[in-house]
Amino acid sequence: MQATFRIRRFNPESESLASYDQDYVLETQPSDTVLDGLIKIRESIDESLTLRCSCRGSICGSCGMRINGEATLACKTKVISMIADGGTLHIEPMKNMPVIKDLVTDMEGFWEKIRKVQPWLQPKGPEPKGEYVASSESMGHLTGVMGCIMCGVCVSDCTVLEVDRNFLGPAALAKSYRFVADPRDGNAKTRLFALNTPGGMWDCTRCMECVEVCPKGVGAMDRIMALRAKGMEQHVPSTCGSRHAEVFADIIRQKGVLDEPMLAVRTFGLGNIPQLLSFIPTMIQAFKRGKVPKIGIFHRAIPGIRSIQRIFREMRKSR
């Protein structure tokens, strides 16, 4: 079938430093991946096209790029799965990292964040005579996260990194979880305390972009949520992040449904006067428009709250 590859080009050595789209029309086979097409272009149409690739089998993680608006591996994406005969594929470099040339991005920032979470085992106590033994049961849940091939696809489409380059990002946080949850690691608490800081585990919006685009099913956001749960279990110092989850659960236990103003007040803490005051203009604007959500004693529990409270008690007992 015929396909147009519309590729975002950028050459740092050209006079104009603007990126531009260039179309290449080629015949593709039903078995062709997007990477096959790109290699065909480079070998027979335009040798200046620059891309990074190696294994062609979703193992090395080199060919991460955005195809039709979503980051993925070019070697794992069949042309036929993306467009009909005569259609156009939009191919761009990954986002949230500088572009070196065409489809090649600078991954240094990615690696720096991976290094920051100290991605190696840090056992405590005396060294065993043989190897560190861990049961299959205690390691089984880590197989998914250990499947990360560091392709950068999740980082490319992370919505928080778009607005804040200091955020550790899904790949580094998932990598951190891999060690926090490893029974052989003795440093989980220190790791969790380090993640309990701005740019760490509480800054994720839970948008699930990283879960959706990951070519290996790592489920980075789910790992970040698991880090938060472990952080609360380990009593990391209270922050707006941990208070938000704790208070949310407490309000549901008391009322069955959410008391939004109370959630905000208790999350910030009554001592956080500047933060509370900063919302007053918005609240006044809302009150003027007749938006007056009930708060505290005025916000009544749902009928059937006893059932909800019983469920909370039962679940606490079972933990």
Partner 1 sequence: MKYAFFPGCVSKGGCPELYQSIMHVYPKLGIELEEMTTASCTGAGVLQEKDQKLGDVLNARTFALAEQRGLPIMTICSTCQGVMSQANLRLKLDPKYLAEVNHVLAEERLTYRGTTNIRHFVWILLEDVGEQAIQQAVTRPLTGLRAAPFYGCYLQRPTEALGFDEQPSRAQSLETVIRLLGAEVVDFPGKSQCCGLPILTINERNSLMMVANHTSDAKNHGADVMVTPCPLCHLNLDGMQSKAENQQSTTINLPVLHLPQLLGLAMGLDSKSLGLHRNLVSPGSVLEKVGVEF
Q: What is the contact surface with partner 1 in residues (CB under 8 A)? A: 69, 159-160, 162-164, 167, 198, 202-209, 211-212, 225, 228-229, 232, 239-241, 244-246, 248-249, 252, 256-260, 263-264, 267-268, 275, 278, 281-282, 285-286, 289-291, 293-294, 302-304, 307-308, 310-312, 314-315, 318-319
CB of 29 to partner 1, least distance (A): 25
CB of 135 to partner 1, least distance (A): 21
CB of 260 to partner 1, least distance (A): 5
Q: Token pair of 273, please?
A: 């006067």
| Nearer residue to partner 1 within complex by CB, 24 or 167 | 167
CB of 201 to partner 1, least distance (A): 10
| Nearer residue to partner 1 within complex by CB, 40 or 266 | 266
Q: Are 220 and 184 in contact (CB under 8 A)?
A: no
Q: Are 254 and 295 in contact (CB under 8 A)?
A: no
| Nearer residue to partner 1 within complex by CB, 55 or 240 | 240
CB of 197 to partner 1, least distance (A): 12
CB of 66 to partner 1, least distance (A): 11
Nearest 5°: the CA angle 223, 143, 152 is: 60
| Nearer residue to partner 1 within complex by CB, 129 or 317 | 317
| Nearer residue to partner 1 within complex by CB, 185 or 222 | 222
CB of 234 to partner 1, least distance (A): 13
Q: What are the residues facing 118 on neighbouring strands?
A: none
Separation CA 311–CA 298 (nearest Å): 24
| Nearer residue to partner 1 within complex by CB, 79 or 227 | 227
CB of 303 to partner 1, least distance (A): 5
| Nearer residue to partner 1 within complex by CB, 141 or 206 | 206
Long-range contacts of 19-28 (CB under 8 A, 24+ apart): 19/99, 22/46, 23/88, 26/2, 27/1, 27/2, 27/3, 28/1, 28/2, 28/3, 28/79, 28/80
| Nearer residue to partner 1 within complex by CB, 206 or 235 | 206
- Main-chain phi, psi angles of 6, to 5 degrees: -95, 105
Q: What are the residues facing 104 on neighbouring strands?
A: 101
